[in-house]
Amino acid sequence: MIALGRRERRGSRLGVGESRATVIALGTVAWLIGMLWIFPVAWTVLTSFKTEQDASAQTFHNGLTVARYSDVSHSTTGTLSLSTAFTNSLVIVLVSTIIVMLLALPAAYALAIRPVPKWRDVLFFFISTKFLPIVASIFPIYVYAQKWNLIGTRTILIVLYIAMNLPLAIWMTRSFFSEVPRELIEAAEIDGTSLFNQLRSVILPIAAPGIAATALLCVIFAWNEYFYAIQLNFAGASTMPQWVIGNVSTRGNFLAKLSAASMIACLPVILAGWAAQKRMIRGLSMGALK
C-alpha cells in the first residue's frame, strides 16, 4: 500500500490539537540533546585551536590560534606526512568503493530483478562473511600478503576493503533495486535492452538515492578503517587513521595538536556525511528495508 503523501506529513501531525507549546517544548529538548551529543566533538574542535598549555588545563588564557594545524600538516622526520597519508587514503577509498559498486550492482540485479533461484541463501552467504571476526583471518592474510610482496602497498588494503564493504553494498543495493516498479523492467525487456542498458536507463535513475547512500556508507567505513591498516601497512603507504595515531605522543602533552590532527583526518567524511544525510534517510526509508 502506497501512502498518499499529498500533504506535508510531518509537523502538526494530527492537524487540530497538537498545541504550539508541545511543539516548542519538544523542539527545545531536541536542541538540548543535539548540543550535548556533539559536545565532545565541539570541545575537541575548540581544543584544536588552542595552545598546548590551554589544552591541557582546559583554559582559554592564550586565545585561539591555528598554529596547531600548521604544526600537524608539516611533516617532520620520523613522522608520517599528511599529504602522503591523505593521498593514500583517498586512492584506496575511491578505488575500493568504485570496485565495490561495480561488483555489487550486477550482483544486486541477479538477486532482485532477474533473481537466481535461492537468492535468499546467496544473500545470507554474503552477510555471513561479516560474522567472521577479521582478527581471525588476519594472520593467514598477512602471510600471503607477505609472500606476494603486498605488505605496505595500497593494493592489499583496496582488496580487503572491497571484501569488507561488499556484503553491505549488495544487501542495500538489492533492496533498492527491488523497489523498481515491475512494469518498467518489463517494458525494458520487451524492448530487448541489455543488462547494462537496463541498469543505466531504467534502474539506476530510480535507485540513485539509495545507491548514493550505499556508496557513502562504504566510503565512511573504508576511510575510517584502522585494524587492517595497522597490521598490513607501514610508512609510505599508511592511511589517515595511522597518521592520526602517529600524532599521539607519549612524551609531554600534545592534546591540541592531536585534536587538530583528528579534525583534519575526519573532516572529509564528516562533510560528505553532512551533505548526503537527506539522501541517506530518503534512501534508507525508500528501500533499505522496504
Partner 1 sequence: MASVEYDAATRLYPGTATPAVNELNLSIADGELLVLVGPSGSGKSTALRMLAGLEPLDEGKILIGGKDVSAVRPRDRDIAMVFQSYALYPQLDVAANMGFALKQQGVPKEERKQRVLEAAKLLDLEPYLDRKPRNLSGGQRQRVAMGRAIVRHPQVYLMDEPLSNLDAKLRVQTRTELVELQQRLAVTTVYVTHDQVEAMTMGHRVAVLRDGYLQQVDAPGTLYHSPANLFVAGFIGSPAMNTLPVPATGPLRIAGTEVGIADDLGGERATVGFRPETVIIGDGPIAARIRIVEDLGSEVFVHLVLDHDGEERRVVAKVDAPFVGSAGDNVRVKLHGTVHLFDTAEVRRTSVTL
Partner 2 sequence: MTAAEATLRGRVGDPFSSPWRRRLPLLPALVFTIAITQLPFLVSIYYSFTNLKDRTQSIIPEPTKFVGIDNYKAIFNDPFFRQAMWTSVKMTVLAVVLSLVFGTLFALLLDRKFFGQGIVRTLLITPFLLMPVVAALIWKQQMFSSLFGILDKVLAFLGLNSVAWISDHPLASIVTVLVWQWTPFMMLIMLAGLQSQPSDILEAAGVDGATPLGIFRQLTLPHLRRYLELGALLGSIYIVQAFDAIDVMTGGGPGSTNIPYFVYQESIGGGFRYGSASAYAIVVVIFSIIIATFSLRVLSGLLKDEERA
Query: Nearest-CA neighbor of 232 among 165, 132, 160?
Result: 160
Q: Which value, in Å, is the radius of gyration of the alpha carbons in the chain?
A: 24
**Cβ proximity to partner 2, 237 vs 247, nearer residue:** 247
289 makes contact with partner 1 (CB under 8 A): no
**Residue 218 binds partner 2 (CB under 8 A):** no
Judged by CB under 8 A, the chain residues 23 through 42 that form the site for partner 2 are 23-24, 26-27, 29-31, 33-35, 37-38, 40-41
Helix (H) or strand (E) holding 33: helix 20-48
Residue 24: CB minimum distance to partner 1, A: 17
Cβ closest to partner 1, residue 5 vs residue 252: 5
Cα–Cα distances in angstroms (integers) from residue 88 to residues 46, 216, 221, 233, in the given order: 28, 18, 15, 11
Residues 70-99 that bind partner 2 (CB under 8 A): none
One of 88, 175, 233, 238 touching partner 2 (CB under 8 A): 175
Cα–Cα dist 265/244, whole Å: 7
Q: Is 16 in the site for partner 1 (CB under 8 A)?
A: yes
Q: Which does 197 bind (CB under 5 to 8 A by kind): partner 2, partner 1, none?
A: none
Q: Contact, 109 vs 177, CB < 8 A?
A: yes
**Is residue 152 within the footprint of partner 2 (CB under 8 A)?**
no
Nearer to partner 1, 9 or 182 (CB): 9
Task: Select the residue interacting with partner 2 from 63, 78, 131, 252 (CB under 8 A).
Answer: 131
Q: How crowded is residue 182: how many other Cβ atoms within 10 Å of its Cβ?
A: 8
**Dihedral over Cα of 232, 235, 241, 245: its sign:** positive
* Residue indicated by cell numbers 586565545: 63
- Give 78 or 192: the residue with its C-beta nearer to partner 2: 192
